[in-house]
Structure 1
Amino acid sequence: MQKIKTALLSFGMSGKVFHAPFLEAHSGFTIGGAWERSKEEIAKQYPDAKRYTSLEAILNDPSIELIIVNTPTYTHYDYAKHSLLAGKHVVVEKAFTTTVAEAEELKSISEKQNKKLAVFQNRRWDSDFKTVQQVINDGKLGELVEVTFSFDRFNPLLSPKQHKETPGPGAGVVNDLGPHLIDQALVLFGMPEAVFADIAITRKHSRVDDYFEILLYYPQHRVRLKAGYFVKENGPAYIVHARNGSFIKSRSDRQESRLLAGEKPTLADWGVEPETEQGILNYLKAGETVREKIPTLAGNYLSFYEGIHRSIVQNEATPVTAQDGLNVMKIIEAALRSSEDKTIIDL
């Protein structure tokens, strides 16, 4: 299998947890190294990997084909642009950029350079979302009426990561958790006709938004996306109401917690949820109510990197395209404007 030598632009939590384990697990990638500004961590886990002391050193290394831009959101546009112009394929973490204009420019540059550009929307491969997607596509629920996706936490304290708490481009929960929920909604339903949003600050001393409710308007149904930091008792993270029934499902994908514990995605039970987290489908069948638990599909973020490998080697579309990332940014910009103006934004 053709090997794609890959460099990470940081080796903090995201590099160690969400990227390197999957690059290592996939036989089509080689971890070439990481940009480490002060620490020297990557070689401790990957002895053959190189520590780069600058972005330029990575860009000037002809052996590096793919660059993972896993740095703070406000840097994504600049680092991705330089990487593409240097002739590298690029994966950018969410949020893709800080503006629609930046996303459009990156998409244009990747096309002109004939280089692959993808957005790391890994939550498409969560076990819970994959199961919700299967239930909706199965058709038993019938025509959708109301859908709610939430990503809630109980975390009243400010993050020690200053870039997350400092006002500026890319800061706040709309740019942090919003892309996960928005992308999942767009995967299932496509672009909405209009957007309404309520965005607020709820934590003491916070200077960036930490609560949102975004309403997406579709011709026949509504999709509500919610996130907040004061949810001590979680309800269902996915609620689907349709003309023939309902489906509810917890947010219970175990991949992140297992990665943080140092487990590898090559384990046989990778992405498998406990049976206790199965969703409940309640619907009408031949006029009779059927209420049943739905087995949860296994999640696997490795599917993203399998798609990246095929896109580069076989010239397929990336698993999450630049257009997908651009569409998410359109929703975010509309939501910010809607909340500020207290009005519905037509798309």
Structure 2
Amino acid sequence: MKTQTVSVGLVGYGTAGRTFHAPLIQAAPGLELASVVSTHPERVQADHPAVEVLPKLAQLLARRDIDLVVIATPNETHFPLAKAALNAGKHVVIDQPFCVTASEARLLKAQADGANRLLSVFHNRRWDSDFLTLKALIDEGTLGRVVALESRFDRFRPRVTDRWRDRHKPGSGIWYDLGPHLLDQVHELFGMPRAILLELATAREGAEVDDDFLALLEYDHLRVTLQASSLVADPTPRFRVHGTRGSFVKYGLDPQEGWLKAGQSPTPGWGVDPSPGTLTLDEAPGEGGGNRETVTLASREAPAVPGDYGTYYAGIVRALLEGAPPPVTGESALEVMTLLETGLDSYRQGRWVKLKESGSKLRRLHSR
């Protein structure tokens, strides 16, 4: 790269491009949002009057000064657009999910590896405050050995929209929308499970695609439950985690998405969650061994770790300018894609489906 500034072309200016990628790119030192490909130039110019707007990807790829192409378009377009960008010699970031199929993801990874180009997937919820807090609690052994984890991402959206996510198209539905977030977080904590069981439902009136899912992931001595629904109005726990020393329960979503939708930009202190969750722990876990007849529990606010979506693009800059590993590697993104697709296999077959990989991270945690 000739300069110490990475010139970025953003493809797509819908919810993902407008809410997440454009503001985070502009807030990242070392990145410059040079051009946006969009069929709605008025939206881009209203937010970023100095940024060039192009109607076609080919025009963006023809610009020799563009170093990095960020793809924030409907899921079924991720593969052809990323393939074209890699063919043009560009580095590529794809909004999650990676692709529609694991085979597409493998082809893109092989193409990027062969061309020595960066290929990364925007799994931004690795930098949610509640997830970072939970990861720290597990890493520090605060909960003891984790035996059950429930992760939910519920919404109340009773009306079916005309958006592509609600249409019967490849990569639509709630499993492809929210499943990658929850799967990636669990994969970061525990690695690949031994097996997965998925149940999908179409609950809303007039819905064409899944709007509710329940997924179970099996690890050694641990059961993970992932759920998401479009018809939950009452607050449900974002995380409910139980271990041999106590529990962690968190309500409410990480605030960063809401702040970005409101037009805020990342600043110092960004990502502090006002509702950090509750720890309920055994006050004397080492006393009396396992023969104690009574246990004294105490609850307190969890020591929250601030979230920071900006960490992702800061990592992209380091990867491109300093040769550091990308914040989300192609290997880990491909494993999440494998989980997403294997879940669909489970749903179609109506049974648990085993995975070839096993949870090596979990075994390391248990060996402490």
1:302 to 310, 323, 347: 310
Give the conservation status (yes or no) of the 8 Å contact 2:132–2:305.
Answer: yes
Partner Cα distance (2:236, 2:96) in 1: 25
1:86 Cα shift? 0.7
Alignment of 1:273-288 (within 5 A): 273-274=273-274, 277-287=275-285, 288=296
Specify the code of the residue in structure 2 equivalent to 1:282: T
| Post-superposition CA distance 1:152-194 (Å, at most 9, x none) | 0111111231x11221210110000000000000000100011
Matching residue's letter, 2:41: K
Structure 1 counterpart of 2:102, from 100, 103, 121: 100
CA RMSD for the aligned pairs? Answer: 1.4
Q: Which residue in the other structure is 2:232 paired with?
A: 231
1:45 aligned residue? 47
2: CA distance between counterparts of 1:300 and 1:81?
29
Q: Which residue of 1 aligns with 2:181?
A: 180
Residue deviations 1:26-81 (CA, integer Å, cap 9, x gap): 12011111012243333333333211121111111000000010000000001011
- Asked if residue 217 in structure 1 is aligned to residue 218 in structure 2, the reply is yes
**Partner residue of 1:5 out of 4, 7, 11:** 7
Query: How far is the alpha carbon of 1:208 from its aligned partner?
Result: 0.3
* Pairing partner for 2:70 from 61, 68, 71: 68
Q: Which amino acid aligns with 2:353?
A: I
- Matched residue type, 1:165: D
Separation (CA, whole Å) in 1 of partners of 2:119 and 2:8: 14
Of 104, 127, 151, the residue aligned with 1:125 is 127
Could you tell me how far apart the structure 1 residues matched to 2:52 and 2:196 are? 45
Could you tell me how far apart the structure 1 residues matched to 2:17 and 2:225 are? 31
Q: Is the 8 A contact 1:121 1:320 kept in 2?
A: yes
45-54 vs 35-44, greater mean Cα deviation = 35-44
Match of 2:205 in 1: 204
* TM-score, structure 1 as length reference: 0.96
Q: Structure 1 stretches of 5 or more lacking a match?
A: none
Letter in 1 for 2:140: D
Partner of 2:130, secondary structure, is helix
| Alpha-carbon distance between aligned partners in 1 of 2:122 and 2:330, rounded to the nearest angstrom | 10
One-letter code of the match for 1:215?
L
Residues 128, 250 of structure 1: 8 Å contact kept: no
User: Given that residues 109 and 119 in structure 2 are in contact (C-alpha distance below 8 angstroms), is that contact kept between their aligned partners in structure 1?
Assistant: yes
* Counterpart for residue 333 of structure 1: 341
Instruction: Using the TM superposition, name which of 41-50 and 109-118 deviates more.
Output: 41-50
Partner of 2:147: 145
Q: For residue 159 of structure 2, what is the aligned residue in structure 1?
A: 157
Trace 1:259-270 onto structure 2 (pairs within 5 A).
Answer: 259-266=260-267, 268-270=268-270
The whole-number CA distance in structure 1 between the counterparts of 2:227 and 2:243 is 19
Q: Could you list the runs of 5+ residues in structure 2 that have no partner in the other structure?
A: 286-295, 356-368
Aligned length: 343
Give the counterpart letter for 1:280 in structure 2.
Answer: T
CA contact (8 A) 1:237 1:249 kept: yes
CA distance in 2, matches of 1:263, 1:291: 34
**Alpha-carbon distance in structure 1 between the residues aligned to 2:227 and 2:130:** 16
Identity of aligned residues (%): 37
Which letter does structure 1 place at the counterpart of 2:201?
A
Q: Report the Cα offset of residue 90 of structure 1.
A: 0.5
Give the distance between the partners of 1:82 and 1:183, measured in 2 at CA: 26
Give the conservation status (yes or no) of the 8 Å contact 1:93–1:121. Answer: yes
Partner of 1:81: 83
Runs of 4+ in 1 over 4 A off after TM superposition: none
In structure 2, distance between residues paired with 1:62 and 1:24: 20
Within 2, Cα distance between the matches of 1:135 and 1:250? 16
For residues 205 and 326 of structure 1, the distance between their equivalents in structure 2, rounded to whole angstroms, comes to 33
For residues 214 and 27 of structure 2, the distance between their equivalents in structure 1, rounded to whole angstroms, comes to 37
- AA aligned opposite 2:278: I
d(CA) in 1 for partners of 2:26, 2:130: 25
